A and B are shown apart, each in its own frame.
Chain A
């Protein structure tokens, strides 16, 4: 550039940098604008409320899986955890007439336990969490089916309905819970020493170990958090569906993973923000919602979601390479 850059070039360069930094957010806004024009039913209060409530369940689990991912691991079993805790909780309330509050506590404790088990197994056996959770996923789901014995468990107490179906003013309760959990998680990850530890073990496990971190314990704790989060999801889903069914929660881990990756959470650990994660979840939510409005069958939705994921990840890679190139070019300009 021989002459001084004009105001417009400067603006477009800045816009480019911003766009790159906020790529997931740009995609989200782009989708919202697109669907607002395409579908008249999209941009309505009732539809948006519905959409946010739909994603609130997966978001809570996604926050849990984010702890695991930032720490450099993966949990494929969260859907199956929900299958099992859901059925057990329903049975407790329906067959054994356990007080709903107590049943909820049992569900949360059980979720935490199942998560911890993943972490402990991975540490004790020295096997990658991907394989461990693939195994436990099958077991948890199987146990859920055995407990349900082929039946839907109906007859839950009416008082239990409020969590999944009630409102706090205009806000659905699951959405309110999601917001609280996201804020707490962001706070824990970004401001506490525990959060630092999670990023450290995902960024460089050996350096973290040599700096005195108990990696094994941390592995267990991050998986416990993930299990606890899915316990909450399980409670809310049961209250929403209002009968114990083995299909509740199945496959939710893929939405969570996709959302996390869309939102810039690193698959190898050490990177990610709650802001990015929420963006990722919203992208999935908007896509699902718009396709339902358009009357597309589930099968098509899957194809679109998968494509969006690959495009997003590919775009991210392309941007990183371009940044490296531009940095190199700036050297010669000097």
Chain B
């Protein structure tokens, strides 16, 4: 990249938040027409950095250099007028408005006072055409799939004469084919001289698409490498700060009798699903986004209604109509979105852990706080939950420790069938290892585990068997001896 001109140059950026230095004197350069990947664990400061560049937040120190001019801070309007566009992880579209209107949202097209719908439609068609996106510009955005919405966001960004495009985990909701399509678009943008800053957790993508890659850790800039001259191991080392093998612990005991069996289960968007999981087994549940993995988990857990089929626990058919029924049968769920669905963030660690059993440990309605403290302490030790006190509000814990609190809730409720929905999502590499070890320990103690995951390495590394879903139906069951990424992806995308 020696011959390329530097367009964006960050110097000594500092941003403070309560309890953390989110950016600690970060300096970085971005060249014209390069795809520059930004890597780092959760909390490394990537999101803060892009928000500073976009002007969504103001830094407490440092400068942002653009075309030789220095700025102490940006605001959303200024950054946009300088050609900086950001595609955030969350969608930023107006669901009831059409594709065309969304693309030109915030920019004035045509007349001075009135929206010229004809021109908006024409220009939207033109932009979609440039990138081979087949889409009806009049369709309301809410009727599009997540992948199509992502494409609309890209079209929206490029409609604005973009020079620096920042993409924060853009591939998260996309299937393999859709990611390919997005990469094509990125290549075209690159040819036009657009700088793309690409944030992703998926190392494969970083190697596929980027020219250079920079690593951040704990709010600090660590290093930049030319992608072609580095490897997976080095990047992980830079991210974690030490050598870390992506290894999965082995287990001591073999699965025994069937703990949970579902037969022809339907409802909540899944149809005719049959499988079983044994005590001491980790069953992987694979599928693309929208294949119905989480939906299936919800039906088993009673969080969504079953329309047909049968659930058997330890050989006996059971009726599960609510989460309370499931908990009574010993089924526990660790939801994908732990903050929204798994925790009471404003409440303490102890309060959270004891919540599912608070009635059981009450005498004449009165909570037995001593038993409560003992149970919370037991799981803090067993799961190594790092918190200053058991009264600490859960919102102040790290992602990994929050996830342990969610697990402690289910264990305190004495669940012996646990469904983990994306258990390591948003957890840093070190905490992941710890969590894998915990899961294996649980399996060794005879707990049956169903693990939903989009991380193929994790699925292949942890599971004894993998059940694959495709469009709400069972696409196949794969034993350990047949494990291969390609085979499972084939099943998941329905091409097998």
Contacts and interface: CB of A to CB of B under 8 A. Distances in A.
Given A204-B343, A204-B345, A328-B17, A210 B367 contact: no
A324 interface: yes
A194 interface: yes
A200 B355 contact: yes
Given A193-B362, A328-B17, A332-B21, A211 B346 contact: no
B344 interface: yes
A212 B18 contact: no
Interface in A173-193: 191-193
A271 interface: yes
Contacts of A20: none
A207 B16 contact: no
B409 A211 contact: yes
B340 A207 contact: yes
A207 B18 contact: no
Interface string B339-362: 011111111000100011011001
A204 B358 CA distance: 16
A168 interface: no
Contact of B341 (A192, A203, A210, A214): A210
B278 to A, nearest CB: 25
A329 to B, nearest CB: 7
A22 B362 CA distance: 31
B344 A324 contact: no
Given A192-B367, A211-B356, A212-B324, A331 B340 contact: no
A331 B16 contact: yes
Contact of A191 (B341, B344, B355, B366): B366
Contact of A206 (B324, B326, B340): B340
Contacts of B366: 191-192
Given A210-B303, A210-B341, A329 B346 contact: no
Contacts of B365: 192-194
Given A193-B365, A199-B347, A332 B340 contact: no
A324 B17 CA distance: 8
Given A193-B365, A200-B355, A203-B347, A212 B341 contact: no
B398 to A, nearest CB: 16
Given A193-B367, A270-B346, A211 B323 contact: yes
A161 interface: no
B301 interface: yes
Interface residues of B, number: 33
Q: Max chain B CB contacts within 10 Å: which of A197, A200, A203, A211?
A: A211
Nearest to A323: B18
A329 B342 contact: no
B322 interface: yes
Interface in A190-234: 191-194, 196-197, 199-200, 203-204, 206-214
Contact of B359 (A193, A204, A207): A193
* B interface SS class: mixed
Contacts of A210: 301, 303, 323, 333, 335, 341-342
B20 interface: yes
A174 B303 CA distance: 45
A250 B347 CA distance: 36
A193 B333 CA distance: 22
A192 B361 CA distance: 10
Contacts of B241: none
Contacts of B344: 199-200, 203-204, 207-208, 270
* A interface SS class: helix
Contacts, number: 81
Contact of A196 (B327, B333, B345, B358): B358
A197 B16 CA distance: 36
A331 B356 CA distance: 36
A203 B324 contact: no
Given A193-B365, A199-B347, A209 B323 contact: yes
Contacts of A125: none
Contacts of A213: 324
Contact of B342 (A197, A199, A207): A207
Contacts of A271: 346
Nearest to B21: A331
A210 B359 CA distance: 15
B341 A207 contact: yes
Contacts of B346: 203, 270-271
A2 interface: no
Contacts of B388: none
A196 B323 CA distance: 18
Contacts of A203: 344-347
Nearest to A191: B366
B111 interface: no
B19 interface: yes
B367 A196 contact: yes
Contacts of B359: 193
B18 A328 contact: yes
A327 B20 CA distance: 9
A204 B347 CA distance: 10
Interface string A241-283: 0000000000000000000000000000011000000000000
Interface in B7-63: 16-21
A328 B347 CA distance: 22
Nearest to B359: A193
Given A192-B365, A199-B347, A207-B340, A327 B18 contact: yes
A206 B341 contact: yes
Interface of A: 191-194, 196-197, 199-200, 203-204, 206-214, 270-271, 324, 327-329, 331-332
Interface of B: 16-21, 301, 303, 322-324, 326-327, 333, 335, 340-347, 351, 355-356, 358-359, 362, 365-367, 409
Given A204-B340, A204-B345, A210-B342, 5 more contacts: A192-B366, A200-B347, A203-B346, A213-B324, A332-B16
Q: Which 3 residue pairs are nearest across A and B when measured between Cβ atoms?
A: A327-B18, A212-B324, A328-B16
15 contacts: A192-B365, A193-B359, A193-B367, A200-B344, A203-B344, A204-B344, A206-B341, A207-B342, A207-B343, A209-B303, A210-B335, A212-B326, A212-B327, A329-B16, A332-B21
